Amino acid sequence: MLDCRDLKKIYTNGGEETVVLKGISLSIKKSEFVAIMGPSGSGKSTLMHILGCLDTPTSGTYTIDGQDASKLSDEALADIRVKKIGFVFQAFNLLPRATVLRNVMLPLVYARLAPDKREELAKQALRAAAFPEEFWHHRSNQLSGGMMQRVAIARALVNNPAMILADEPTGNLDTKTGETVLAAFQKLHREQGRTIILITHEPYIAKHAERILYLRDGNLVRDEPSSL
């Protein structure tokens, strides 16, 4: 469902070029759980932005679900983000004074669904993320970090995206809470066949995926099954 061929990303500042991605080629099949791992400066954040249709490559091709995203307009990329990609970020990115249910419904407002349909789909997503029903009407700023991240997972699921892109999703959590969140991703992958791409710099987190791609200095240096 995702294919990259010779992706390069070059930033220019004052006539000076910085090559961040140096010809990345990779494929991710539907229902795979893949971790992209590398140290700071490896290019993983830049690659994540391209895979999430938040940026475009300088050269090369990127195809997602049959569409060549490397040649699309900003408007068309935004449409892919809304319809095909669910994002989970390190900082949760929830509305602090909105209820859990309202936070999960928010992407459906942009999709222009009717209010009753929004609520129905939000409840389905919260159940899929194993979020306790007794907290659905709590404001997000009343929740623990682990619970907020599970709300973020539910929000990522609500549009039934082709792919979930999780950027350092345990970065603000303690180890035990992070394990709970990673278990939620594994359950979504195992029971629902979700395609999940996990961005991390931590080896023990990457091992929760079934396959690990290693980046270093803008190159894909290894692609191997997880040993977990």
pLDDT tens, residue by residue, 30-68? 999 999 999 988 999 999 999 999 999 999 999 998 889
- Asked if the model's pLDDT at residue 228 lies above 70, the reply is no
The answer to whether the predicted template modeling score (pTM) of the entire model surpasses 0.75 is yes
Domain boundaries, the chain: 2-225
Q: How far is CA 23 from CA 19, 20, 37, 69, in A?
A: 10, 10, 17, 16
Query: How many other CB atoms are found less than 10 A from the CB of residue 145?
Result: 15
Looking at domain 2-225, its CATH architecture is 3-Layer(aba) Sandwich (3.40)
Query: Which of 4, 1, 69 has its CA nearest to residue 219?
Result: 4
Contact 33, 186 (CB under 8 A): yes
pLDDT, mean over the chain: 92
Contact 2, 28 (CB under 8 A): yes
What percentage of the chain exceeds 90 in pLDDT? 66
Residue 40: HSE in the Cβ half-sphere, 13 Å Cα cutoff: 0
pLDDT digits (tens, 9 = 90+) for 180-216: 999 999 989 998 889 999 999 999 999 999 999 999 9
